[in-house]
Amino acid sequence: MPFMRRLTLVDSLFFLAHDEFTGKPALRRTGLGIGMAGSALCDLLLAERITVERKRIRPLSRRGLAHPALDRVFSEIRGERESHAVREWVDHLRHDLGETVAGNLLAAGVVTRETERVLMRKIHRYPPRDLLMSTAARSKARAAVLGTEQPDPHSVCLALLAWTVGLDDLCEPELDRAGLRTWAEATHRELPRALADLISGVDAVCAAIVYTGDRR
């Protein structure tokens, strides 16, 4: 399908949030949802479909990206009469965007789905059909942190979002969690204001979830 020619942030983070070989979830549903919401908004920002002003999201265009999950999010943003804060959008989108992205990847034929029951819960695994695609996300994120060349904004955002939602073993064994934290904090300070405010909004929702104990 056309939208799979280049992995978007939302697709890449989905792969990072699942084992690249077995498709087993590496995050709880809440963390995955926050990551999907944040990465979708970053995709739209980097594609100049939205901007962030005074920590509130405003649409810049009416043209979609021909990506079902991103166009759904963009349509919701354009449909609002008033602008809303980044953290409000992340909290709103996190509840079902993971399922939407999974459905898109299934429809594109790049993953399959296997279901197992653990106690009273159903756990979905999404084994990849193409290991080059499933491993590309981790390679890009690691290169953004460990590489010697200037990384592209897409890779930087992927690594920052991974750190923010709890995928903090991304660069082991070369770099431990403390080292990744140092990189993330320094990199965040150097981001353009709109992108920095967006990442901060994702982080704020993560912090609120931890505080309230909603870790489903």
Q: Order of strands across the sheet with 56-59? A: 50-53, 56-59, 84-85
Q: 57: which strand partners?
A: 52, 84
Look at residue 148 in the predicted model and tell me its pLDDT: 86
What is the model's pTM? 0.91
CB 94 within 8 A of CB 30: yes
Residue 199, both tokens: 């990442």
Question: Looking at residue 3, what is its pLDDT?
Answer: 41
The structure tokens listed for 60 are: 């810049």
What SS3 state is found at 110? coil
pLDDT on residue 211: 62
CA distance 173 to 214: 30
Give the pair of three-digit tokens for residue 59. Answer: 């649409």
- Asked if 98 contacts 13 with a C-beta cutoff of 8 angstroms, the reply is no
pLDDT in the model for residue 216: 45
Local confidence pLDDT in tens for the 216 residues of the chain: 334 456 899 999 999 999 999 999 999 889 999 999 999 999 999 999 999 999 999 999 989 999 999 999 999 999 999 999 999 999 999 999 999 999 999 998 999 999 887 777 788 899 999 888 889 999 999 999 999 888 999 999 999 999 999 999 999 999 999 999 999 999 999 999 999 999 999 999 999 986 665 544
Q: Which residues pair with 52 in a beta bridge?
A: 57
Distance (Å, whole) CA 100 – CA 90? 15
Q: What is the pLDDT of residue 214?
A: 55
- What length does the chain have? 216
Pairing of strands 50-53, 56-59: antiparallel
Contact criterion met (CB below 8 Å) for 20 and 128: yes
CA distance 24 to 17: 9
